[in-house]
Amino acid sequence: MVRKGNSIIKGIAVEELIDLLNRAYADEWLAYYQYSIEEKVVKGIMKDAAIAELQQHATDELRHADWIAQRILQLGGTPLLNPKEWFDRCNCDYEEPSNFDVVAILEDAIKGEQCAITTYSKLAELTRDKDIVTYDLVSRILADEVEHEEDLAALHEDISEFIQSMKRR
């Protein structure tokens, strides 16, 4: 049956929306995995505070993936079915942890959040006045990504300052 919900989308092709949302969907799964592995391998001073934050962010990224999949289905699309597609379709690079030190891990994670902010602000600009439902979704996710960056940056500052103060002693 034709969806009334799709008839309110103006000035943007539904197929394009589905494609863009699938790209963001790939990003969210990779972000989820990145946090999930970082939380396990991270080492060093004050790592417990970092682990708590990384675990919370992993949960958030998985929730974002679920929201996006639901929207793709509402639009009549199919969320990516094969994880092999995640690397081909993602907007943001997967930041493979090469240095497990807590400061380096936080820097990798901050890079990921900054890319997510760029991606969702572009999606918000693109959907504003065209698809209110997707606009609302990407705005909610964008607010989470901004919060993620701030949480990680604040933690990065605290840990860096603590290390500096230890060195001065």
Q: Which is nearer to Fe ion, 18 or 65 (CB)?
A: 65
123 within 8 A of 92, measured Cβ to Cβ: no
Closer residue to Mg ion (CB): 95 or 151? 151
27 binds Mg ion (CB under 5 A): no
Which neighbouring-strand residues pair with 35?
none
Burial class (CB in 10 A: 0-12, 13-18, 19+), 29: buried
Q: Identify what 149 binds: Mg ion, Fe ion, none; CB under 5 to 8 Å per kind.
A: none
Residue 156's binding partner, choosing from Fe ion, Mg ion, none, with beta-carbon cut-off 5 to 8 A by kind? none
Binding of Mg ion at residue 151 (CB under 5 A)?
yes
Residue 148 touches Fe ion, criterion: CB under 5 A: yes
For Fe ion, the closer of residues 45 and 89 by Cβ is 89
If one asks whether residue 113 binds Mg ion (CB under 5 A), the answer comes out as: no
| 3-class secondary-structure state, position 19 | helix
Instruction: Please tell me the distance from the alpha carbon of residue 156 to that of residue 110, in angstroms, as a whole number.
Output: 9
Question: What's the one-letter identity of residue 150?
Answer: E
Q: Which is nearer to Fe ion, 16 or 66 (CB)?
A: 66
SS3 5: helix
CA distance 65 to 45: 32
How many whole angstroms separate alpha carbon 166 and alpha carbon 26? 41
Q: By CB under 5 A, tell whether 145 contacts Mg ion.
A: no
Residue 38 binding result from Mg ion, Fe ion, none, given CB thresholds of 5 to 8 Å by partner type: none
Q: Give me the residues that bind Mg ion (CB under 5 A), please.
A: 56, 151
Q: Give me the residues that bind Fe ion (CB under 5 A), please.
A: 28, 61, 64, 145, 148
